[in-house]
Amino acid sequence: MPINDDYRGWPHLMCSGFDADKRALMSYDHIYSFLKTLPEKIGMQKMGLPIVYKVTREDHPDIGITGVTIIATSHISIHTFPRGQKDGKKKPRGVERRIFRPFFTFDCYSCKGFNPDIVYDELKKFFRPKTIETALVYRLREDEELIEVENY
């Protein structure tokens, strides 16, 4: 893979959107459309159609939709929680984190660079969250020494 002068590593953008549009988070078609259109907008090659599942109470207490699009250089995924997170299980370090408002979690990882601003704008447009927490991690190759984490 040729490395440009601005190469920082392989980007992994992680986002959590809070107080998002509940209807958008519950819509199979909306999630499917988002996962189908985003790769082209950020210059990625889809390897097929999105895979999207509805998560019901029989599957897990926190209902929603989960989906992924496989791209030639990795993946794009989203998990929605239109009724918040109710399971209340202890998280790492004993922290109990329960979120009672509609939210989503999102990942875009690629061995090819992409513009995180486009992804961020698409998330805002499709799901209308009041706030988005983001982290942009640059994964490096075996011969490199430092993994850089950036609050985006």
Which CATH number fits the domain that encloses residue 58? 3.60.90.10
Mean pLDDT on 56-71? 92
**pLDDT of 97 above 60:** no
Q: Which domain holds residue 79?
A: 10-151
Q: State the burial class of residue 129 (Cβ atoms within 10 Å of its Cβ: 0-12, 13-18, 19+).
A: buried
Would you say residue 116 lies in a domain? yes
Sheet holding 148-151, edge to edge: 51-55, 64-71, 74-81, 103-110, 10-18, 131-139, 148-151
> For position 93, what pLDDT does the model report?
60
Lowest mean pLDDT across 25-29, 69-73, 147-151: 147-151
Could you tell me the pTM of the whole model? 0.81
Residue 2 lies in a domain: no
Residue 129 lies inside a defined structural domain of this protein: yes
Cβ 32 vs Cβ 67: under 8 Å: yes
Instruction: With cut-offs at 50, 70 and 90, classify the pLDDT of residue 149.
Output: low
Section 27-47 average pLDDT: 97
On whether residue 1 sits in a domain, the answer given is: no
Does the pLDDT at position 127 exceed 80?
Answer: yes
* Number of domains making up the chain: 1
Q: How confident is the model at residue 67 (pLDDT cuts 50, 70, 90)?
A: very high
